Amino acid sequence: MVKRIKVSDLKVGMYVELPSAWHAHPFIRNNFTITSQKQIDKIVEHGILEVNINVDKGVSAPEESALPRREEPQEDLSAKVIVEKLKEVIEDKSIEPQPKAQAVHLYSEKMISKLWEKPTGENIEQFKKDIVNVVDLILEDDATSNHLRKLTSYDYDTYIHSVNVGVYGVSLAKVVFGRSDGHDMHALGAGFFLHDIGKVYIDEAIIKKPGRLTDEEMNQIRRHPGMGFKLLTETKQIDDECRLIVLQHHERNDGTGYPRKIRGNDIHIYGRICSVADVYDALVSKRPYKPSLEPFAALKIMRDEMLGHFQKDIFEKFVLLFI
């Protein structure tokens, strides 16, 4: 019998089954018995949060109810306290990259959830200022940003997705634009983190529906880029970076996207970058209507079945982020 456990519950003697992707772990074999604490440390250092163990081939694990939950900021923390704690984590040089990445991701999720509760102009403006710390971390701290890209979560909500796309988007923009000073990376980063802000107007039951969406429900989903643009415009937070990303992150290079079905060079490069990040995270995340995919499997689908959706050289640079 196979069970999924937190890496914090791994013990010597367990038979572990790791993902088969070429970059997903540092071991020669995917399946093996843990024989030393050093092996467990390697799994942790690689940024893996959960693994499968085969209890028929090795030591078992505690019952699921006894498994510790990941440590998250308390629900009653104010937005100000969350930002302060996020800044403390980022500035603390004593924290190793892997736990720092986990903490940064968790506090970023909380920051976005607070914004979603009350997306006023004042709160959006403050969020754009506060997310600068995370953007700078991704741009300047390669070790931590590498772990941020490799964090594996089998949960999904809009906040987690927003953080993931923010991380992937800034990482990809860093590679695409290199040392060019022709782009405001702070404004661009805020746009990636805010790309789905229009979903505050979409019924959560539709977003989390476990089955196939009806045509009417799909039409509701397709409204969120325009609704996000409307919100940012009305709150006077519509700089060029946010406008382009929010409006165009679902457009496709071959013209099959939405809301305007524009194609090729009519899609701004900011929208094209966010499109790659958004699709990748949708594939590797577990949704109510589909299982999660391993990174290599997701990238393979994007290459083999969806390449017409993306600008080829941008997609190729994205793949290199995971090698």
For 114, 192, 200, 323, the CA distances from 119, given in Å and listed in that order, are 8, 16, 8, 37
Q: What is the reported pLDDT for 98?
A: 87
The CA–CA distances, whole Å, from 112 to 72, 133, 199, 225 equal: 14, 14, 12, 17
| Interacting residues of 36 by C-beta distance below 8 A, sequence separation 6+ | 12
200-215 pLDDT per residue, tens: 999 988 988 888 889 9
pLDDT for the residue 69: 39
Residue 153's pLDDT band (cuts 50, 70, 90): low
Q: How far apart are CA 15 and CA 32, in angstroms?
A: 6
Q: Maximum distance among all alpha carbons in the chain?
A: 60
Going by C-beta distance under 8 Å and a sequence separation of 6 or more, which residues neighbour residue 185?
Answer: 135, 139, 170, 173, 174, 177
For the domain that residue 157 is a member of, what is the CATH number? 1.10.3210.10
Range of the domain at 216: 79-320
Q: pLDDT-based confidence at 67, cuts 50/70/90?
A: very low
| 101 in Cβ contact with 144 (< 8 Å) | yes
With respect to residue 66, please indicate whether it lies within any of the assigned structural domains.
no
In a domain, 73, yes or no: no
| Average pLDDT, integer, range 38-56 | 79
35 and 98 together in one domain? no
Rounded (10°) CA dihedral 57, 63, 66, 69: 60
Q: Is the pLDDT of residue 87 over 80?
A: yes
Q: Are residues 52 and 129 in the same domain?
A: no
Amino acid 216: pLDDT: 95
Same domain, 157 and 292: yes
Higher pLDDT, 159 or 76: 159
Do 158 and 56 lie in one domain? The reply is: no
d(Cα 95, Cα 147) in Å, to the nearest integer?
A: 13
Specify whether 21 is located in the same domain as 158: no
User: Does a structural domain hold residue 258?
Assistant: yes
Same-domain check for residues 51 and 94: no
Same domain, residue pair 134 and 234: yes
Given this model, what pLDDT does residue 199 score? Answer: 95
Backbone angles phi, psi at 31, to 5 degrees: -120, 125
Express each pLDDT in 134-149 by its tens digit: 999 999 999 999 999 9
∠ CA(77), CA(75), CA(7), 5° rounding? 115
Are 172 and 36 part of one and the same domain? no
pLDDT at 65: 36
Three-class SS state of 29: coil
Q: What is the mean pLDDT of the segment spanning 239-268? A: 97
pLDDT tier at 171 (50, 70, 90 boundaries)?
very high
Q: How many CB atoms lie within 10 A of CB 228?
A: 26
**pTM of model > 0.85:** no
> Would you say residue 252 lies in a domain?
yes
285 contacts 161 by C-beta, under 8 angstroms: yes
Q: Choose between 52 and 76: higher pLDDT.
A: 52
Q: Is the domain of 211 the same as that of 174? A: yes
Q: Which of 82-86, 127-131, 185-189, 285-289 has the lowest mean pLDDT?
A: 285-289
Residues 23, 120, single domain; the answer is no
73 band by pLDDT with thresholds 50, 70 and 90: very low
Residue 67 domain flag: no
* 269-302 residue pLDDT tens: 999 999 999 999 999 988 777 788 999 999 999 9
Per the domain annotation, does 69 fall within a domain?
Answer: no
| Position 70 pLDDT exceeds 50 | no
How many domains in the chain? 2
165/291 Cα distance (integer angstroms):
19
Q: Which helix H or strand E contains 3, and what residues bound it?
A: strand 2-6
- Could you count the other beta carbons within 10 Å of the beta carbon of residue 86? 23
Q: What is the residue-averaged pLDDT of the chain?
A: 88
Measured distance CA(171)–CA(138) in Å, rounded: 7
Q: Are strands 50-54 and 2-6 parallel, antiparallel or unpaired?
A: antiparallel
Residue type, 275: S
Does some domain include residue 244? yes
Average pLDDT over every residue of 91-100: 91
14 and 145 assigned to the same domain: no
Question: Does 132 share its domain with 259?
Answer: yes
